[in-house]
Amino acid sequence: MDVHDLMALFVLLGCGLLFVYWFYHGERIQHNEGLGWDGAAYADWAQRDTLEVLRKNDLSEYYVGRILPSLVVHFLSKWLHYDIGSPTGVIRAFFVLNCALLCGGIALMLSIARHYGWRRNIAYLAVSGFLFNYAVLTNLSYNPTLTDISGYVLGLAIIWAYLRGYLQILWLLSLVSGFVWPTMIYGSFLLIAFGHTKLEAGPIPRHAHVLALANSLFLLVLSGWLYFVKGLRQTPGTTELKLMLLPLCALLYGGYLYLAELPLINVPAGLRALRRVDWRAIVAALVLVVAVKWLTSYFSDHSPGPLTIVRYIGLLTQASLANPLVNAVAHAMHYGPFYLLAVFLWRRVAAVAWSEGLGLTLFTMLFAALSIGSESRQFLNAWPVLIVLVCQVLHQLDEQYRIDWWFTYSIAGMGLILSRCWLRINVGLWTGDFQNFPDQMLYMYTGPWMSNQMYQVFLAVTLLCSIGIAALLRKLPVQSSPGLSRDG
C-alpha cells in the first residue's frame, strides 16, 4: 500500500466520519420539520404500512413511480425494530439507507474500473466524481428523505450491468428503477433493446449537422409554442424570462443542443446497426416498459401527478432561457468539475459511447438533449454514466497527456470545493421569497430558481473552473482526427 492508497483510505474515512456527524447533527431542510415537500410524502409512506398505501390506490402514477425507497425503509425499520414514528427517526432511517447505497455504489464504480482496466488514479478519480458533488456531500444530509440517492446509485448499477453484459440483472435493475426514478425506464429501454450492437466508426457526416440543428430548433419552437400558445408557465418563484436577453439565450440554447447531439448522429450507420439488433432484446425492453406502466397504473388513482411529459418538457426548456447557458452553470455547480471535463472532452466522450454500441449511444443522445434543462437533479440517474464515459476517455489518453495523480487530486479537490459541504444553508428563517436570501441559500443551487445575482456569481465560478481544467488539459496535443472521427 503506497501513499496514494493511504490518501484514498484517509479520504473515505473522512467521508465516513462526516456522514456520522451528519446523522446526528446534520443541517436539515426547514420545511416540514426537516422532511421538505415531496420528502414529507415519502416519509409518511414509510411510517405507515407502505403496501396498504398502495392498495388504497390514492397515489398518482408519478408518486407510485417513486415509492420503493419508502417501502424499503418501512420494512427494514420494522425488521430492525427501529422507531421511525418521529420526523427525526424517519430522516435518520432514510439517511442510513442512502449511505449504504453509496457504499454499494463505490464498489460498483471500482468494478467498472477493473472492467476497463483503469489505472489506479483514474479509478480513484471516478470514485471522487461519484462522491464529491453537491448531490452527495450536501443535499444527501440536507434533504435525505428524497429518492435522489436511490436513483443515483441505481443509475450506476444499470450502467455496470450494461457494460458487464448482464442482461437479466440489467432488466431487473431497470424494473426496480421504475419505482424509484420514473424517467430512468426510457434510458433503460434503449440500453436493453439495442444493447452493444456495433456501430461503424467514421467521420461525422454532413447530414448530422442538419439534424442536430433541426433538433435544437424544434425544441426552441416547442418551448415558444408551449409558452405563448398553451400558456404553460414555470412555477412561482422561478427566475423570470428577460426579453432583452432572450435572443442571446435562445442562440446559446440552440448552440448547446447542436454541439451536444452532433457527434452522436449518423443515420446510415444507425440503420445498418438496427439490422443486427436481437429482436428478443427489443421484446424484453417492451415487456419491461409495459410491466412498469401497468403496475404504476394499477396501484395509482390513474392521475398523472404533478409532472406530465408535456409539462416536464415545457419547464425543461423555459428555465434554460432565463439566463444565457444557465443549464451549463447549474450542472457545473451541482456536479462539479466532471461536468466541465465532459464539455471539454465531449467528442471523445461521444466516441466512447459510440464504441460501446447502439444502446449506450442512444442513451447518451437522450440525456445529452435533456441536459438542456437547468434543474440538475432531474438527471441524477444518468450522471454516473457520464462519470464512467469521461474516465474511460482519460484512460485512453497516452502518458504524454499527463493524466496523473496531480490531475486526480486537482479534480477531486475542485469537486470538494464545489460541493459546498462547508457552506451553511440555514442562515435564517425562510420568508417564502425564493429569489432572495435567506431562501436563496438553498435555491441558488437549482437552475430554475437561481436568482440573476447568483447566476452571475456562479457564471464567474464556472469560468474560473473552466480555466483551471483547461490548464490541467493544456498538454493535450492538437489533432484533427479526434474532432472529426468517432473512433477518437
Q: Which pLDDT tens digit goes with each residue over 166-213?
A: 999 999 999 999 999 988 999 999 999 999 999 998 899 999 999 999
Query: Lowest-pLDDT range, 26-30, 257-261, 475-479?
Result: 475-479
- Alpha-carbon distance 132 to 418, whole Å? 8
pLDDT of 486 higher than 60: no
User: Which of these, 265, 259, 267, 260, lies nearest to 368 by C-alpha position?
Assistant: 260
Distances (CA, A) of 256 to 113, 219, 364, 473: 30, 12, 15, 22
Average pLDDT over residues 111-124: 95
φ, ψ of residue 282 in degrees (nearest 5):
-65, -40
pLDDT of 487 higher than 90: no
More confident residue, 483 or 121: 121
**Exposure string for 211-236, b = 16+ CB within 10 A, e = fewer:** bbbebbeebbeebeebbeeeebebee
- Alpha-carbon distance 303 to 371, whole Å? 27
Going by pLDDT thresholds of 50, 70 and 90, the confidence category of residue 483 is very low
φ, ψ of residue 203 in degrees (nearest 5):
-65, 155
- Number of continuous H segments (helices) and E segments (strands) in the chain: 26, 0
Whether residue 155 contacts residue 171, with contact meaning beta carbons closer than 8 Å, is answered with no
- Alpha-carbon distance 368 to 119, whole Å? 27
- Alpha-carbon distance 380 to 387, whole Å? 11
Residue where the block lists cell 450522471? 383
User: What would the pLDDT profile of 65-103 be if each residue is shown by its tens digit?
Assistant: 999 999 999 999 999 999 999 999 999 999 999 999 999
Distances (CA, A) of 271 to 201, 274, 386, 421: 14, 5, 25, 47
pLDDT of 482 higher than 50: no
Measured in whole angstroms, how far is the alpha carbon of residue 201 from the centre of its chain?
A: 27
